[in-house]
């Protein structure tokens, strides 16, 4: 699409000549990346920049141009190209998305802290990130399936075909074209979202959400893991006797850990079996504790406790009177026997685990 300016007294429209960033001497990193870093709303409203040139992984000298959170708290990998895209821009972005998909909230905070220090800012990184999440209704930090935004002067047919196919396959790739135009002394930048088309984006999101919900329902018939704890909450209604208030108490306790961003909830269902898995926000979400509805018990995972929360494991061993340290495996505790101080100690185990995960990964990086 061309850009026109109105000349004279509404006499006619005159085309504004298209140019290129190369011809205009606009550099990719020091110009484009710097401006988009400071004004991310040009790419998308609600973007929050965590850092630039992110490369905190072993065995690779490559770096993500910009790493951000969107308005929902989802991690976003942003890749920029000054000229037309080559055939590997999307593959590079996919590699980066995979590499950051295990990032924890604490790691994001530490990464943002280093970024702020690098630009000479004394703002509190945790406060900034939590404020971004709190200001967006219903937002929560999510890194397991990062979004990808590709911004370039132009896109090859190979790349657009690949981006469309990736979106159909369940990924989330946005392509934004940035076309420079010269009008006398002024350099104008026209931005346009080419994939997905803005007019169809909300429709596509609704279709994808419906398909994902149907897929979850189909899988649950055969026994599957469903994201979140809402399904478990629904199943509490069918609990008998004194189990219902105890399950409700455990569910409220678990959602408190989730709100604290130190745990992620999922539900396993199979016929009459229903477990609330209280996982750590990393990798395959190892769970220190799960609530087992059909047994009216909590299941304590000794191995994970000793691995991720050794100090708390010792405290819990003393409180519960069950051997945890150097035992592995798991054991069940009837809900009516669970004490308030045990729940407080388990909560502390999740806090300890988040700190240890950050330290362990930073050491490996």
Mean pLDDT value across residues 40-53: 95
Considering the chain, what is the average pLDDT of its residues?
85
Q: Provide the percentage of residues in the chain whose pLDDT is more than 90.
A: 50
Q: How far is CA 172 from CA 50, 194, 293, 311, in A?
A: 19, 13, 35, 40
What angle do helix axes 340-364 and 310-320 make, rounded to 10 degrees?
A: 160
The residue-averaged pLDDT of 280-302 equals: 89
Encode pLDDT of 327-365 as tens digits: 768 889 999 999 999 999 999 999 999 986 654 444 343
CB distance 15 to 75 below 8 Å = no
- pLDDT band of residue 195 (cuts 50, 70, 90) is confident
Whether 249 shows a pLDDT value over 90: the answer reads: yes
The more confidently predicted of residues 90 and 205 is 90
Residues with Cβ within 8 Å of 296's Cβ and at least 6 positions away in sequence, in order, are 239, 243, 246, 247, 334, 335, 336
Residue pair 175/103 in contact by the 8 Å Cβ criterion: no
Euclidean distance between CA atoms 268 and 290, whole angstroms: 10
What is the reported pLDDT for 46? Answer: 92
Between 121 and 239, the higher pLDDT residue: 121
DSSP assigned state of 45: T
Side by side, which strands form the sheet with 273-279? Answer: 224-227, 264-270, 273-279, 287-292, 297-301, 330-334
pLDDT computed for residue 146 by the predictor: 94
The distance between the two most distant Cα atoms of the chain, rounded to a whole number of Å, is 89
Return the closest-CA partner of residue 291 out of 349, 252, 237: 252
Instruction: Specify the pLDDT at position 241.
Output: 76
Q: What is the pLDDT of residue 285?
A: 85
Location of structure tokens 């002394």: 185
Calculate the alpha carbon distances from 38 to 51, 68, 243, 326 in Å.
11, 12, 53, 51
Q: What are the helix (H) ranges across 87-124?
A: 89-100, 105-118
Confidence at residue 214, expressed as pLDDT on a 0 to 100 scale: 57
- pLDDT at residue number 160: 86
Per-residue model confidence (pLDDT) at position 9: 86
- Mean pLDDT of the region 258-271: 90
Q: Are 167 and 174 in contact (CB under 8 A)?
A: no
pLDDT at position 54 over 50:
yes
CB atoms within 10 A of CB 187: 14
pLDDT band at 121 (very low <50, low <70, confident <90, very high): very high
Residues 235, 231: Cα–Cα separation, whole Å: 6
> What's the mean pLDDT in 180-194?
91
- Give pLDDT, residue 59: 60
Contact 188, 194 (CB under 8 A): no
* pLDDT of the residue at 247: 93
Across 54-58, 272-276, 346-350, 353-357, the highest mean pLDDT is recorded for 346-350
- pLDDT, tens digit (0-9, with 9 covering 90-100), for 135-169: 876 678 888 889 999 999 988 888 888 888 888 88
pLDDT at 322: 82
Asked if 358 and 110 count as a contact pair (C-beta separation under 8 A), the reply is yes
Question: Taking residues 19-25, what's their average pLDDT?
Answer: 91
| Residue 181: count of CB within 10 angstroms of its CB | 18
Provide the pLDDT for residue 204. 56
CA angle 68–159–162, rounded 5-degree value: 90
In angstroms, the first-to-last Cα distance of the chain is: 45
Q: Is the pLDDT of residue 220 over 50?
A: no
How much is the pLDDT for 156?
86
- Band (pLDDT 50/70/90 cuts) for residue 275 is very high
* H helix and E strand count, the chain: 11, 14
């Amino acid at each position: 699409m061309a850009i026109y300016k109105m000349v004279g007294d509404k006499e006619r429209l005159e085309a504004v000549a298209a140019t290129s960033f190369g011809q205009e001497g606009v550099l990719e990193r020091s110009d484009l990346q710097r401006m988009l870093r400071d004004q991310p709303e040009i790419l998308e409203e609600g973007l929050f920049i965590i850092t630039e040139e992110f490369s905190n992984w072993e065995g690779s000298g490559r770096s993500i141009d910009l790493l951000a959170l969107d308005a929902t708290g989802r991690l976003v990998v942003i890749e920029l190209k000054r000229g037309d895209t080559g055939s590997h821009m999307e593959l590079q972005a996919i590699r980066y998305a995979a590499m950051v998909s295990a990032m924890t909230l604490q790691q994001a905070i530490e990464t943002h802290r280093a970024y702020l220090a690098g630009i000479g800012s004394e703002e509190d990184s945790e406060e900034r990130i939590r404020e971004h999440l709190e200001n967006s209704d219903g937002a929560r930090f999510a890194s397991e399936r990062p979004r990808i935004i590709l911004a370039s002067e132009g896109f090859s047919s190979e790349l657009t075909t690949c981006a469309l196919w990736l979106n159909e396959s369940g990924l989330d790739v946005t392509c934004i074209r940035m076309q420079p135009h010269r009008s006398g002394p002024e350099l104008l930048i026209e931005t346009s979202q080419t994939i997905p088309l803005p007019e169809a984006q909300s429709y596509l999101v609704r279709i994808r959400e419906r398909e994902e919900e149907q897929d979850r329902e189909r899988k649950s018939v055969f026994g599957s893991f469903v994201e979140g704890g809402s399904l478990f909450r629904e199943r509490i209604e069918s609990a008998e006797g004194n189990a219902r208030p105890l399950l409700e108490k455990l569910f409220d306790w678990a959602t408190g850990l989730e709100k604290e961003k130190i745990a992620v909830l999922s539900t396993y269902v199979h016929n009459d079996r229903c477990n609330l898995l209280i996982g750590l926000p990393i990798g395959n979400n190892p769970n220190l504790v799960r609530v087992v509805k059909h047994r009216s018990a909590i299941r304590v995972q000794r191995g994970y406790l000793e691995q991720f929360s050794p100090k708390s494991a010792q405290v819990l061993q003393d409180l519960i009177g069950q051997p945890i340290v150097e035992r592995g495996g798991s054991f069940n505790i009837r809900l009516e026997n669970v004490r308030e101080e045990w729940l407080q100690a388990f909560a502390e185990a999740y806090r300890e685990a988040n700190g240890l995960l950050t330290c362990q990964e930073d050491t490996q990086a």
